[in-house]
């Protein structure tokens, strides 16, 4: 008998490799035949190391040209129809919108729509964002079905999209991408002062990098010895990317260092006391928060979905209002003046991670989801 087949659709191979390899490994543990459709750059080897196949599909993420979108849908339909998956797992909003429709056209009934965050839909509250949310909800209803399941990383996002997070027959919640707590371990805090703060993220305005820079300026002006290291690279395919010139200008300021992207997450947190992510919203559950927690570092973040669902104010770190550099600076002052606080909160953050947010927790959750879908009979066969 042929093995059941799982087909992932993601935007980029690097995005899948950085966040979703545990899901591919979970599927392989179930004995599924696994393939991934994504734009290929430099991560084929990492994906194929899980036992999955990478199917390259070239498509520009930022393009909203209707003709280009139609071509993407048709290309996806051909690939999906050729692969004949038992389950189609679409990751992030654009692949859900396009591949979810293509999968429906190809006759694939069992579909997983994994919302890794709402991006622009969640980060802004103006009329344009409200109209976009209405359009997204309408489209999701059009590509829904009795064997479609929605996968979220926090309990707020399903509500925004008109779904009930308690509806286990339609909605599943997982602890973000999950991290391996045996690979990222707590380490001794570096000497203080200065208070060393790190921001590890894609260089997007939505991540609040500018707010972290301004907060450091304010904290230093108030006499605190605070230093910020920014780790990350601009994303040319994202219209909200921070220009490299701006990052270099910030790095020229006292107490600010832009170190570029890094793969040495363990090394970053060994050298810093505090994780900062002043997100403006649109998050699922940021991996950078989970990684810092695994390393025993407290988190300073904002009151947005995903961040607030993990960080317990005053226990694992501090949660401040959105777009408030003054509140961020005040929190930095508290940490700078009470070094033992960071160590205590860092221990709590590690325990928080171990309670449902590890890589194994995520793998077990998606395995249960796949098994429940495979147990449900289908009426159509993929064309």
Q: Which fold has domain 5-178+358-374?
A: Rossmann fold (3.40.50)
Give pLDDT, residue 123: 74
Domains of the chain, by residue range, sit at 5-178+358-374, 195-354
Q: What is the DSSP string of 219-232?
A: HHHTT--EEEEEE-
Q: Which CATH class is domain 195-354?
A: alpha beta
CA dihedral 233, 235, 241, 242 (to 10 degrees): 20
Task: Report pLDDT for 129.
Answer: 80
Over residues 238-250, the pLDDT tens digits come to: 888 999 999 999 9
Residue 155 CB burial class (10 angstroms; 0-12, 13-18, ≥19): middle
**SS3 at position 186:** coil
Tell me what pLDDT residue 382 has: 40
Residue 80 to residue 82: CA distance in whole angstroms: 5
All residue ranges of the chain with pLDDT < 70 are 1, 60-64, 379-383
Largest CA distance in the chain: 70
pLDDT of residue 60: 67
Report pLDDT for 381: 43
- Between the CA atoms of 332, 334, 335 and 336, what dihedral angle is there, to the nearest 10 degrees? 80
Q: For residue 11, what are the contacts with CB-CB under 8 A and spacing of at least 6?
A: 38, 39, 59, 61, 91, 92, 94, 95
- C-alpha 96/C-alpha 361 separation (Å) is 24
CB atoms within 10 A of CB 40: 17
Give the pTM. Answer: 0.91
Domains 5-178+358-374 and 195-354 share a fold: yes
Report pLDDT for 230. 98
User: What is the predicted pLDDT for the residue at 62?
Assistant: 64
Backbone angles phi, psi at 348, to 5 degrees: -65, -40
Q: Which two tokens stand for residue 20?
A: 């979703």
Neighbours of 193 (CB within 10 A): 13
The reported pLDDT for the residue numbered 61 is: 62
């Amino acid at each position: 008998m042929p093995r059941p087949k799982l087909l992932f659709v993601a935007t980029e191979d690097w995005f899948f490799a950085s966040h979703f390899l545990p899901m591919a490994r979970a599927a392989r543990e179930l004995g599924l035949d696994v393939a991934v459709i994504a734009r290929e750059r430099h991560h084929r080897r990492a994906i194929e190391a899980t036992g999955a196949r990478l199917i390259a599909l070239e498509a520009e993420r930022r393009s909203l040209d209707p003709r280009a979108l139609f071509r993407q849908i048709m290309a996806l339909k051909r690939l999906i129809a050729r692969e004949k998956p038992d389950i189609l797992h679409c990751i992030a909003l654009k692949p859900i919108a396009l591949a979810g429709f293509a999968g429906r056209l190809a006759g694939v009934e069992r579909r997983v729509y994994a919302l890794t965050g709402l991006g622009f839909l969640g980060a802004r509250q103006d009329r344009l964002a409200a109209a976009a949310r209405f359009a997204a909800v309408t489209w999701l209803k059009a590509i829904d079905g009795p064997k479609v399941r929605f996968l979220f990383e926090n309990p707020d996002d399903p509500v925004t999209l008109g779904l009930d997070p308690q509806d286990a027959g339609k909605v599943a919640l997982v602890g973000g991408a999950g991290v391996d707590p045996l690979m990222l371990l707590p380490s001794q805090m570096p000497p203080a002062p200065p208070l060393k703060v790190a921001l590890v993220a894609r260089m997007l305005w939505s991540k609040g990098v500018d707010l972290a820079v301004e907060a450091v300026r304010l904290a230093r002006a108030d006499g605190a010895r605070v230093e910020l290291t920014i780790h990350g690279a601009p994303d040319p395919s994202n219209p909200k990317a921070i220009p490299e010139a701006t990052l270099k200008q910030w790095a020229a300021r006292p107490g600010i260092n832009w170190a570029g992207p890094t793969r040495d997450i363990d090394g970053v947190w060994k050298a810093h006391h505090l994780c900062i992510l002043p997100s403006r919203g649109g998050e699922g559950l940021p991996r950078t928060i989970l990684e810092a927690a695994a390393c025993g570092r407290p988190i300073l973040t904002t009151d947005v979905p995903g961040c607030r669902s993990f960080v317990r104010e005053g226990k694992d770190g501090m949660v401040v209002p959105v777009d408030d550099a003054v509140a961020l600076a005040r929190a930095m002052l508290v940490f700078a003046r009470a070094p033992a606080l960071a160590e205590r909160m860092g221990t709590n953050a590690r325990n928080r991670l171990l309670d449902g947010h590890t890589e194994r927790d995520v793998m077990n959750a998606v395995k249960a989801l796949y098994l429940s879908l495979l147990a449900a009979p289908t009426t159509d066969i993929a064309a």
